[in-house]
A and B are shown apart, each in its own frame.
Chain A
Amino acid sequence: MIDTNLFQLICFYGFAAVTVAAALAVITLKNSVHAVLSLVLTFFSTACIWLLAEAEFLAIALIVVYVGAVMVLFLFVVMMLDIKQEHVREGFIRYLPVGIVVALVMLAEMLALIGVRAMHGQVMGANPAAAAGMSNTAWLGQALYTQYLLPFEIAALILTVGVVVAVALTLRHRGDKRHESASEQVRVQARDRIRVVKMAPSRPDEPTASQEPRQ
């Protein structure tokens, strides 16, 4: 039967190939909705690679946050905008040098990181979760809430401030807008809206027989 390590390696190359192909498709596909879907596929296969590296929490969080929420909003916006592809493609040659510079800087940074790690003789680093004998998720939770509590709380605070600012920036009060107060609507009683009138029966056909005033 197939050796487990070999199988993992095959899976890794499979997922990596899909990731790279999908990432290329993001920037080459003409249809912008197709491009967004390729980006979804890129995230998804990246999550698969992380799963292989036993980072299950990060992998599933990537899917929940990016695929499940952020990309849905992306898709939403792209569907609404009727982007003319020709105009987008016009700038390709003009922006190419900038793109190449950015790519080169990123490549250099990655190589430097790997090089620094290799110098210390730990390219991958030991798996701290396995060392502690816990699942990856449990270890991550413990580390975040004990060892790294302050940075974690600061990050949370910054994100909250970001949310509040985003709302404050886009919120504008219009004088001519009519508001519905849900609590007022719920509190409404039947007697506020209709009045039940008791009246004696009357027949409109026979005006002479009727003594009651007609309504």
Chain B
Amino acid sequence: MDQLIHQVLVPVGYIAAIALPLIVAVAMFVYWERKVIGWMHVRMGPNKIGPFGVLQAFADVVKLLLKEVILPSSANRVLYYLAPLLALVPAFAAWAVVPFGEKMVLADVNAGLLYLLAMTSLGVYGIILAGWASNSRYALLGAMRSAAQVISYELAMGLALVCVLVLAGSLNLTDIVHAQAGGKGFFDWFWLPLLPVFVVYFVSGVAETNRAPFDVAEGESEIVAGFHVEYSGSAFAIFFLAEYANMILVSFLASIFFLGGWLSPLQGWIHADAPGWINWIWTGGFAWLLIKAFLMSFLFLWFRATFPRYRYDQIMRLGWKVFIPITIVWVLVAGCMKYFGWVVAGTGV
């Protein structure tokens, strides 16, 4: 019985402790997005439901769940209902290897970075199948655009992560964070030696999640809503959830790979003794990761309110002719940094 609790119930508890806050975070992030874009457009944003409109997202969830799920005529029934789940499952499964703090990780996998690449590359199936199963031209066009885009940017993203693992010397995410510890504060993090790659990684992340300015898969003004044009009610809500969970995931991963994860930007500068609720400011903790991820996710919203949509050929050019050459060159540069000892992983923890 004791073993049962330890082997089954505790992991299930951990999973719930990650998944449920994630769902709430998605709801609040949708509210925050509408609010921020509203401010940037000099509008109010949602302000009717709850104080400052905070409960708007929850009202939308209830609305979506109560709506009818419509199956288009001569759509492929099985795949039509399977597609949203195929989009959602990888978006949540990827969180298994994300370290939230020292020893705060669900699965401390040695090949964690590869696992992440695998999970993020699976998400495209949901989009392609949704587009195909809907039996709609707009949806199919959106699916094709999305598939081409995700495959192109996956390469740049993977090569960018190769630079990270060359410097960190490990595929384990906890080790990657430890490799960024040191006595020089936030200059010890990988954003500095890998600055071009950091930019490439985050922009590829924006492209992988099909967000503006890379949202040709949805492209309201061209193909209505792209791959999920036929979806309604809770099926649409699941796509929405997957997209936003992926955005938050990319923000967390960018913080972990390049901004030192839960490490403090003041690490090594302050050696004061203070109670735990102040101490984390220089010793690092979960709160720092949250702050970093919040700032990174804010960039998603900022991009959306700022940039017009890329044209399809411009997206392909940026991915193949700009990002991939940059990352290939920087793999060599990172190798030199490692070989000549310019960047030493995890100095003076």
Contacts and interface: CB of A to CB of B under 8 A. Distances in A.
Interface stretch (B29-37, B112-120, B252-260, B262-270): B112-120
Nearest to A71: B125
Contacts of B332: none
Interface range on chain B (Cβ under 8 Å from partner): 20 to 34
Nearest to A75: B128
Nearest to B144: A76
A78 B4 CA distance: 46
Interface string B130-155: 00100000001001100100110010
Main SS of the interface on chain B?
helix
B3 interface: yes
B118 A68 contact: yes
B110 A63 contact: no
Given A67-B122, A72-B151, A76-B128, A60 B3 contact: no
Interface in B292-320: 313-314, 317
B117 A64 contact: yes
Contacts of B158: 64
A204 to B, nearest CB: 36
B281 interface: no
Contact of A60 (B114, B132, B143, B150): B114
Contacts of A136: 110-111
A135 B110 contact: yes
B234 interface: no
B3 A1 contact: yes
Interface string A24-41: 000000010110010010
B122 A63 contact: yes
B111 A64 contact: no
Interface string A51-95: 000001100110110011100110110010000000000000000
B7 to A, nearest CB: 8
B54 to A, nearest CB: 38
Contacts of B121: 63-64, 67-69, 72
B79 interface: yes
A135 B113 CA distance: 14
Contact of B110 (A56, A67, A73): A56
Contacts of B124: 68, 72
B171 interface: yes
A33 B121 CA distance: 19
A183 to B, nearest CB: 11
Contact of A137 (B110, B147, B151): B110
A72 B147 contact: yes
Contacts of B114: 57, 60-61, 64, 137
B326 to A, nearest CB: 15
Contacts of B7: 1
A168 interface: no
A182 interface: yes
Contacts of A182: 314, 317
Given A64-B117, A137-B171, A76 B147 contact: yes
Contacts of A57: 111, 114
Interface string A1-28: 1000000000000000000000000000
B128 A79 contact: yes
B125 A40 contact: yes
Contacts of A60: 111, 114-115, 117-118
A69 B151 contact: yes
Given A1-B3, A1-B4, A68 B111 contact: no
A67 B123 CA distance: 11
Contact of A68 (B4, B122, B171): B122
Contacts of B4: 1
B79 A33 contact: yes
A137 to B, nearest CB: 5
Interface of A: 1, 31, 33-34, 37, 40, 56-57, 60-61, 63-64, 67-69, 72-73, 75-76, 79, 135-138, 180, 182
Interface of B: 3-4, 7, 76, 79, 109-111, 114-115, 117-118, 121-122, 124-125, 128-129, 132, 140, 143-144, 147, 150-151, 154, 158, 171, 313-314, 317
Given A76-B128, A79-B144, 7 more contacts: A33-B79, A64-B121, A67-B122, A73-B151, A79-B128, A79-B140, A182-B314
10 contacts: A1-B4, A33-B79, A37-B129, A60-B118, A61-B114, A64-B114, A72-B128, A72-B147, A135-B110, A137-B171
* Nearest 4 interchain pairs by C-beta: A68-B121, A63-B118, A60-B114, A135-B110
